[in-house]
Amino acid sequence: MTLLNKNLLIETIQVPMLEKGVRLSDLSNSYFRSINSRKAFKNAVKKGLIYINDKRGFTADYIFGGEKIDVFEDQNKALPPTIDLAIEVLYEDDYLAVVIKPAGIEVSGNKRWTLEHALSHNLKPSDQPDSTVPEPIHRLDYPTSGLLLIGKTRSVIISLNKLFEERKVKKIYHAICIGEMEGGAMIESDIDDKESKSEYEVLKRVESPKYTYLNLVKLIPYTGRRHQLRKHLESIGNPIFGDLLYSKKGLELKGKGLYLHASSLGFTHPVSNENLIIECVLPSKFRKIFP
């Protein structure tokens, strides 16, 4: 079987000896610096981009260890669309970046108008040999604003994903919540039958004729369930101001957006090993209530 054009070769590895054979489709993507997920590896196999000992690999081929595996670039892969949307960049080097996601835009998805499609327009190209299209490492809800971590090389994207999986990225949010609320506490109610944990601390509060009180709250999620902070705060009777999905009936605030902001990211840089803490100021709509 003919080998693909060697100019398209991205990576070559030798599989370590395995305790027992596994199908190629079940081989861990962690062996590769150029493939950042199991799904991406399976897609590469299906597209004929994975070769075993100079022959095209197929899903059902068995790997026992010692094989040479080549990963080739998909020459038919279409470049993602780009949009001309200015994004504030708080930190950037050749490997990663931290940007501020505006409220009211999806991080990624099938639509053209996403933050992911604005990254190439706002970030400098990486000079690293395994550079790739900038990729968001995590997600923020459509109405949530704040810090978003971006990978610029294949190997760093893999490393950053691992930091998130191992919960080694510290995220801090700020929100404005409705109702009587003092001090702070841990919320540990399950979400979708899964263990969930969030911590809150009330920083300031002001009286409100309609809402009794509005509270500026610092939030730390220790797990990563969908809508976790929004659901947890609603569960204790203090929904986030402007939340149209998890709110008390009659207390919805329309037209101002959700008052939830990802304000701090702390992590170890996967290349320099520097401990980074990136912070950003609260949006102006927060500062109008809490100057």
Is the model's pLDDT at 123 over the cut of 70? yes
pLDDT, the chain, mean: 91
Q: What is the pTM of this model?
A: 0.78
Contacts 24+ apart (CB under 8 A), 56-61: 56/1, 57/24, 58/24, 59/23, 59/24, 59/25, 60/23, 60/24, 60/25, 61/23, 61/24
pLDDT band (50, 70, 90) for residue 109? confident
Q: Which of 130, 141, 192, 243 is catalytic?
A: 141
Quick one: average pLDDT of 109-123?
Answer: 91
Q: In a 3-state reduction of DSSP, which class is residue 230?
A: helix
CA-closest candidate to residue 238, choices 205, 270, 262, 267 = 205
Annotation marks residue 141 as catalytic: yes
For 21-55, the DSSP string reads -EEGGGS-GGG-SS--SHHHHHHHHHTT-EEETTE
Structural domains of the chain ordered from first start: 6-72 (3.10.290.10), 78-166 (3.30.2350.10), 171-262 (3.30.2350.10)
Contact 152, 132 (CB under 8 A): yes
CA-closest candidate to residue 224, choices 251, 184, 256, 197 = 197
Is the model's pLDDT at 1 over the cut of 50? no
Is the model's pLDDT at 98 over the cut of 70? yes
Counting residues of the chain whose pLDDT is more than 90, the rounded percentage is 73
> 180-231: per-residue pLDDT in tens?
999 999 999 999 999 999 999 999 999 999 999 999 999 999 999 999 999 9
**Calpha distance 201→175 (Å, rounded):** 10
Quick one: average pLDDT of 90-102?
Answer: 98
Handedness of CA 144, 147, 151, 155 (dihedral sign): negative
Quick one: average pLDDT of 100-120?
Answer: 92
CA-closest candidate to residue 62, choices 15, 26, 20, 23 = 23
Residues 6+ apart with CB under 8 A from 274: 268
Beta bridge partners of 176: 216
